[in-house]
Amino acid sequence: MIAGGCSEGDDTPNPGPPVQPGGSGKAKVWVTSGDQSRLLAQQNDIMITTIKASPTITLDSTVTYQEIEGFGAALTGSSAYLINKKMSTSQRGTLLQNLFDAENGIGISYLRMTIGASDFSLSDYTYNDMPSGQTDYPLANFSIAKDKEDVVPVLKQIVGIAPNINIMGSPWSAPAWMKTNGSLNGGKLKTDAYESYANYFVKYIKAFDAEGITIDAITPQNEPLHVTSNYPSTDMPAADQLDFVKNNLGPTFESENIDTKIIVYDHNWDNIDYAKTILGDATASQYIAGSAFHAYAGDVSAMNAVHAAYPDKGLYFTEISGGAWAQNFSDNLIWNMNNIFIGTTKNWSKTALLWNLALDENHGPTNGGCADCRGVVTINSGTGSVTKNIEYYSIGHFSKFVRPGAKRIGLTNNQNVAGLNAVAFLNTDGSKAFVALNSTDNPLSIVVNLGARQFSYSLPAKSVATIRW
């Protein structure tokens, strides 16, 4: 868990003019430096020439890997509340353009949302809460009214800017009456509630669809191996999730003609057996699009290990947070690139998502969880002013230039240059994006071969560059 410093939004450079594929002989460059002298700042174009020098890196767009679904963060209840209630109309409009417009902002293309409350909501709730001792297996009282206060209005504005944005829903808890301990905090899902809970997901997807919001994917449970009495959570071992997906959720989606993806696990890199247990069941597997991972424990290579075992299933990186424990902008830029953005995509991930899209100056509002987490942006709860954090620029180096439908392409680090990490993509419009990190204290001169052509570039010290042509 790491991330870092901030800069006032009013003082940060605009990410630049509309992104167009570079002309036949030029590539466009954007740089963020650890010393914050450049923040997703457009540089002078560089020439693409005939072969003149030995390559540092060779790209091969005839070799393709996973298809990218998007980059972004989580629109938690807290994030939605701040955007909806603590900003003026003009402030909100500017922020949402900065976050979701691919031409004038960073073009976030994927959002995660919480199905009901999480540790970043204004209160505890689900979409079917009942008085203690009462049940509602037919879900007659199902309602997303609570989300219509902030989440739905903000999502509608986002969809207006980015109509094709992908949205993933993840629950922290089923309704308390469905659980063994009668509480949102901890406990397990009762087996006799499996059928009702599968229908709960269907109702959720249909309710948001009725609002013009398409749910592209769900996970059955956020962090199923983390249970706490402090905020909504659920103990869902792999065997339980397998049973639920195989015998209830999958068949229910099929019978209801729900094409929303089911993505299993949704927890840390330090456990790959959970996902493999479920993916290894032939009946369950037919309903499952892939598995999702967080970065609070373990190593990014775990995703590659799951891909090696089940290459036909997608990999999704869905959560990590920055916070007050890690303030150094440069260190966080390097960590984010090596582990989350370059790291996950090189290990087959279709997404790279951070945690809260927005938090306030006090790291909240919180609902019993992390007391010092940092959002992608910080919204001042008194003035509505925005601070763009290190996370904003980290996402932007990918989301603005690597659009949904892009495919990762072949890359060879010919000289194994120490401190250089890179990944490349082919967009559906034919443009290519190359993202390179120099984590050393000195500039790195690189030569990138593109078949019969090449370009040269000097990567500044402790900087990331996105080059597009």
Residue type, 311: P
Q: What is the pLDDT of residue 241?
A: 99
Q: What is the pLDDT of residue 12?
A: 42
Q: What is the pLDDT of residue 376?
A: 98
Q: How far apart, in whole angstroms, are the C-alpha atoms of residue 420 and residue 36? A: 19
Q: How far apart, in whole angstroms, are the C-alpha atoms of residue 336 and residue 421? A: 12
Q: What is the pLDDT of residue 166?
A: 98
Q: What is the pLDDT of residue 24?
A: 56
Place of tokens 């249970």: 227
* Catalytic hit among 195, 223, 256, 361: 223
Query: Which two structure tokens, joined as six digits, stand for 233?
Result: 């959570």
Question: In this model, does residue 42 exceed pLDDT 70?
Answer: yes
Q: What is the pLDDT of residue 38?
A: 98
Q: What is the pLDDT of residue 259?
A: 98
* Catalytic hit among 211, 254, 319, 391: 319
pTM here is: 0.95
Question: In this model, does residue 89 exceed pLDDT 60?
Answer: yes
Question: In a 10 Å sphere around its CB, with 0-12 CB exposed, 13-18 middle and 19+ buried, how is residue 274 labelled?
Answer: buried
Question: Does residue 302 sit in helix, strand or coil?
Answer: helix
Q: How far apart, in whole angstroms, are the C-alpha atoms of residue 422 and residue 433? A: 11
256 is catalytic: no
Question: In this model, does residue 300 exceed pLDDT 60?
Answer: yes
Looking at residues 166-170, what average pLDDT do you find?
A: 99
69 is catalytic: no
Q: How far apart, in whole angstroms, are the C-alpha atoms of residue 113 and residue 248? A: 22
Q: What is the pLDDT of residue 402?
A: 98
Domains of the chain in start order, with CATH, are 6-66+408-468 (2.60.40.1180), 68-405 (3.20.20.80)
Query: In this predicted model, what pLDDT tens digit does every residue of 176-210 receive, in sequence order?
Result: 999 999 999 999 999 999 999 999 999 999 999 99
Q: Please give the share of the chain, as a percent, with pLDDT higher than 90.
A: 95
Torsion, Cα 305 307 308 309, to 10 degrees, reads 90
Work out whether strand 288-294 and strand 217-218 pair parallel, antiparallel, or are unpaired.
Answer: unpaired
Residue 131 contacts by C-beta under 8 Å, 6 or more apart in sequence? none
Query: In this predicted model, what pLDDT tens digit does every residue of 49-59 receive, in sequence order?
Result: 999 999 999 99
Question: In this model, does residue 5 exceed pLDDT 60?
Answer: no
5 torsion bin: left (phi>0), alpha (psi -120 to 50), beta (else)? beta
Q: What is the pLDDT of residue 161?
A: 98
Query: In this predicted model, what pLDDT tens digit does every residue of 421-430 receive, in sequence order?
Result: 999 999 999 9
Question: In this model, does residue 10 exceed pLDDT 90?
Answer: no
Looking at residues 337-353, what average pLDDT do you find?
A: 98
Question: In this model, does residue 15 exceed pLDDT 60?
Answer: no
Q: What is the pLDDT of residue 1?
A: 38
Q: What is the pLDDT of residue 11?
A: 40
Mean pLDDT of the chain: 95
pLDDT band at 412 (very low <50, low <70, confident <90, very high): very high
Question: In this model, does residue 3 exceed pLDDT 70?
Answer: no
Q: 77-85 and 151-161 are packed helices; what angle lies between their axes, rounded to 10 degrees? A: 80
Query: Which two structure tokens, joined as six digits, stand for 27?
Result: 């590539």
